[in-house]
Amino acid sequence: MKHTSSDIRKKFLEFWETKQHSIIPSSSLVPENDPSVLFNTAGMQPLVPYLLGETHPSGTRLSNAQKCIRTTDLDEVGDDTHLTFFEMLGNWSLGDYFKEESIKWSWEFLTDPKWLGLDPNMIAVTVFEGDESAPRDEQAAAIWKLVGMPEDRISYLGADDNWWAAGDTGPCGPDTEIFYWVGQGKPIPGSNVGNDEHNWMEIWNNVFMEYKRNKDGSLEALPAQNVDTGMGLERITATLNGVKSAYDTDIFQGMLSKITDITGVKYPENIFINELNFHSEDELIQRAKSMRIVADHVRTSVLLISDGVLPSNMDQGYILRRILRRAIREMHKLGFTDTCLTDIAQVSITHFENIYPLVGEKSQHILEEIFKEEEKFQKTITSGLREFDKLLSGFEKAFEHTGRKTTEISGKQSFKLYDTYGFPIEMTVELAAEHGLSVDTDAFEKAFAEHQEKSRSASEGKFKGGLADDGEETTNLHTATHLLLAGLREVLGDHVHQAGSNITPERLRFDFNHGDKLTDEQKQAVEAYVNEAIQSGAPQLLEEMDKNEAKESGVEGSFWEKYPDTVKVYSFTDSTGKCWTKELCGGPHAEKLSDLGIFKIKKEQSSSSGIRRIKAVLEK
């Protein structure tokens, strides 16, 4: 392998260090301040506030490798190009350098023998051709010519290709994209991205973020001219090694050979999978796809769990559960039905532990969580698949009797597969498609919603943003609940959020997401946090805030979507300035913490998968 992924990542970060960039750590895969998206999908996403003008503590030149996940094309994973987790290498200028340095340095990194040393003849670029929003980017083109890019290798393309935005609103701007020749031999003279796009692969995108898109669609200038670049590590590794897919690079080879060790099934050599043959019944293609899906999904699970996600039926946890269960099913397709995912996960942990420290620190936790989920699903998958086969034979019998063909699995049937056997609906859809059937997913959604409604009303006294009983004991216990959550987050980590709460005048009961039983030390540390807070005697502060502002400023809260645009935020800060808790809530709360008494945890137990429950009291 000419260029390994770790070599490219290392060189990239070293290069930007020589250009006085601070190398910042990757943010979590789960956006910290933006519950509107499940995952970071681009390197710049955690930097949006700074691109909009806030001051970044590490300065105006930044670079990193950012963990990202894209799940929009989950069904296409297994072909040559789609992955769920990927690493985005990036460098940023926050109102520091602009087009000239950005382009010159990109060129230096790619072509200087000290760095990647690529043949300049193998590179082509595109720039923005201009439209009513912004002018044709002659400036970028001129800089490209200056560094030696032949004029006929520069293509001017429209906003579909050369305008980048993170979403419908927010920072955006024209970009210049850098492509590498992936055709036969050397590039044909005159070939460029505009006239020969299939022979060029995009490897790097430099966005000149000087605009902000408003809600009404209008553009305004940002306070500063920024640069945001992104280079997908998996893609560039494959491209520079002359292979079509990241699965054929060092990134996946260890995991794929582990799957071979486990199953005895060999990974097919020189296999190409694209839109055209993706659904082919060819045995080799099916085998490669299954092996690739297992490798991709286990790798993504490792990174997700390291960032605090646990398998569940909601949001990020649901995606994690879904991909782990899909990996298990693909292993079944490969003929292996025992638990094995942790062995594959270990390969990924070894690959990442020195790059993303949380992977190393939490390796045991990651393996345990994967094992738990695998064990759970292994118990039901076989009977679930049998249930599915029963459905199929039922359809056939009905056909023999009535002559009417059933082509759709009903909502009730798919809900049973979900509820009794743990089949994510997407898995049922996939299974159905393999047998030429569809699934009434609308009816599934309905059955699902009805079931949720039932379990909601069954769970007594659920928080609705406020307390039904505002007696003194209940109010004090409610305030203790906030301190308990803050203590849990302090002791166990920021992945902990409220999952449910029930308060009577005698005790509080609090559910939160966390995979493991608390140790005695952890329980004591949490108790100590709450009691120290109580002793500090901090007074209550109630603020009315704009919901988004509250979210962005890091106020703790769950069920944000249930609250109006203006929210109440309760905090308790003592005379030394220590803020013990700051949480979104409907109230009411104690006037000062010294009113509370002594906090004692009475019981800590599992509530449901990935959710722990604490019962606690306040003693006088």
Under the criterion CB under 6 A, does residue 207 sit at the interface with ligand SER? Answer: yes
- The letter for the amino acid at 387 is E
Comparison of 229 and 531: residue with beta carbon closer to ligand SER: 229
Shortest distance, CB of residue 64 to ligand SER, whole angstroms? Answer: 11
Q: Which is nearer to ligand SER, 232 or 424 (CB)?
A: 232
Burial 153-173 (b: 16+ CB within 10 A, else e): bbbbbebebbbbbbeeebbbb
CB of 526 to ligand SER, least distance (A): 40
Task: Give the nearest distance from C-beta 28 to ligand SER in angstroms.
Answer: 18
242, 180 contact by CB (below 8 A)? no
Q: Least separation, in Å, of the C-beta of 314 and ligand SER?
A: 27
342-362 burial, b if ≥16 CB within 10 A, otherwise e?
Answer: bebbbbbbebbbebbebbeeb
Give residues 75-104 in contact with ligand SER (rule: CB under 6 A).
90
Minimum distance, C-beta of residue 428 to ligand SER, in the bound complex (Å): 33
Q: Is-contact 176 110, C-beta < 8 A? A: no
> In the complex with ligand SER, which residue's Cβ is closer, 47 or 381?
47
Using rule CB under 6 A, residue 210 touches ligand SER: no
Q: Which CA distances in Å does 140 have to 148, 155, 200, 361?
A: 13, 11, 20, 44
Nearer to ligand SER, 70 or 332 (CB): 70
For the CB of residue 66, give the shortest distance to ligand SER in the complex, in Å.
9
Pick the piece of the chain touching ligand SER (CB under 6 A) from 37-45, 108-116, 128-136, 582-590: 37-45
* Of residues 226-265, those binding ligand SER (CB under 6 A): 228-230
Q: At its nearest, how many Å lie between ligand SER and the CB of residue 110?
A: 16
Rg over CA atoms, the chain: 27
Paired tokens of 38: 């499940």
Applying CB under 6 A, the span of 224-232, 390-398, 556-564, 577-585 interacting with ligand SER comes to 224-232
Pick the closer one to ligand SER by CB: 31 or 586.
31
- Residues 194, 199, 200: CA angle, nearest 5 degrees: 65
CB 439 within 8 A of CB 424: no
Nearer to ligand SER, 180 or 267 (CB): 180
Cα 372 to chain centroid distance, Å, stands at: 21
Which residue lies nearer to ligand SER by CB, 86 or 181? Answer: 86
Q: Which of 38, 42, 484, 585 binds ligand SER (CB under 6 A)?
A: 42
Least distance (Å) between residue 306 CB and ligand SER: 22
Name which of 198, 328, 327, 344 is nearest 274 in CA terms.
198
Q: How far is the CB of 102 from ligand SER (least distance, A)?
A: 11
Q: Is-contact 321 371, C-beta < 8 A?
A: no
In our burial notation (b when 16+ CB lie closer than 10 A, e otherwise), range 51-72 reads bbeeebebebbbbbbbbbbebe
Closest approach, Cβ 263 to ligand SER, in A, equals 36
Minimum Å distance from CB 37 to ligand SER? 14
Nearest-5° Cα angle at 44, 352 to 69? 45
CB under 8 Å to 35, separation ≥6 — which residues?
551, 560, 561
Complex with ligand SER: residue 230 or 424, whichever CB lies closer: 230
Query: In this chain, which of 64, 93, 205, 316 binds ligand SER, going by CB under 6 A?
Result: 205
State the Cα angle at 555 between 552 and 557, rounded to 5°.
110
Stretches 39-47, 257-265, 321-329, 368-376: which one binds ligand SER (CB under 6 A)? Answer: 39-47
Interaction residues for ligand SER, span 138-177 (CB under 6 A): 164
Nearest CA among 421, 405, 370, 617 for reference residue 510: 617
126 binds ligand SER (CB under 6 A): no
- In the bound state, the residue with its beta carbon closest to ligand SER is 230
**Nearer residue to ligand SER within complex by CB, 92 or 415:** 92
Give the DSSP per-residue string, 340-362.
-HHHHHHHHHHHHTTTSHHHHHT
Residue of 116, 138, 115, 112 lying closest to 127 (CA atoms): 138
Residues that bind ligand SER (CB under 6 A): 42-44, 90, 164, 205, 207, 228-230
